[in-house]
Amino acid sequence: MSIALLIVVGALTSVGLFLITARSLSRIVLGFALLGHGAVVALLASGGRPGSPPLADQSTADQISNPLPQALALTAIVIGFGLTLFLLALARRQQELAGDDLVEDDLEDRRIASESRLGHPTDDEEQGAP
């Protein structure tokens, strides 16, 4: 595995991880895009050393690089693309509903926070869904 690819994987993963810790969903989308790229490059790198292009009259089977991880990487890219679109749609919907695209605290977090503030839960915040 080449050191350059390793550095690329490391850089993509660390920036991606930093971005998905954000509250804003648009940053999280970017973070997942980078993380996904990091994973895809890692998959490519797992195929071993690079080989010559797989052209019928120019190289034999043992000269070309391993095609299996590349097939896996392609599948992963397609899935990642679809999910990025879905996340963007979700961010858009959240913006319509709430005016921003921030990921909100879950019900238990809010309940515990209100209990520590007021000493008892208000009926409103204890309200379950839907």
The length of the chain, given as a count of residues: 130
In this structure, are residues 91 and 105 in contact, taking their beta carbons and an 8 Å threshold? no
Cβ neighbors of 4 (< 8 A, separation 6 or more) are none
**Residue given tokens 């693309």 in the structure block:** 81
Q: How many residues bind another protein (CB under 8 A)?
A: 42
Kindly state the smallest distance separating residue 66's Cβ from another protein, in Å. Answer: 9
Phi, psi of 95, deg, nearest 5: -65, -40
Question: Quick one: tokens of 71?
Answer: 């097939």
- Closest to another protein by CB, 64 vs 72, is 72
Contact code string over 55-94 relative to another protein, x by CB under 8 A? -------------xx--x--xx--x--xx--xx--x--xx
Say whether residue 127 binds another protein (CB under 8 A).
yes
**Residue given tokens 């954000």 in the structure block:** 22
User: Which of 11, 74, 113, 126 touches another protein (CB under 8 A)?
Assistant: 126
Dmax over Cα atoms in the chain, in whole Å? 79
Say whether residue 19 binds another protein (CB under 8 A).
no
Rule CB under 8 A: which residues touch another protein? 1, 13, 20, 25, 28, 32, 35-36, 38-40, 42-43, 45-48, 68-69, 72, 75-76, 79, 82-83, 86-87, 90, 93-94, 97-98, 103-104, 106-108, 126-130
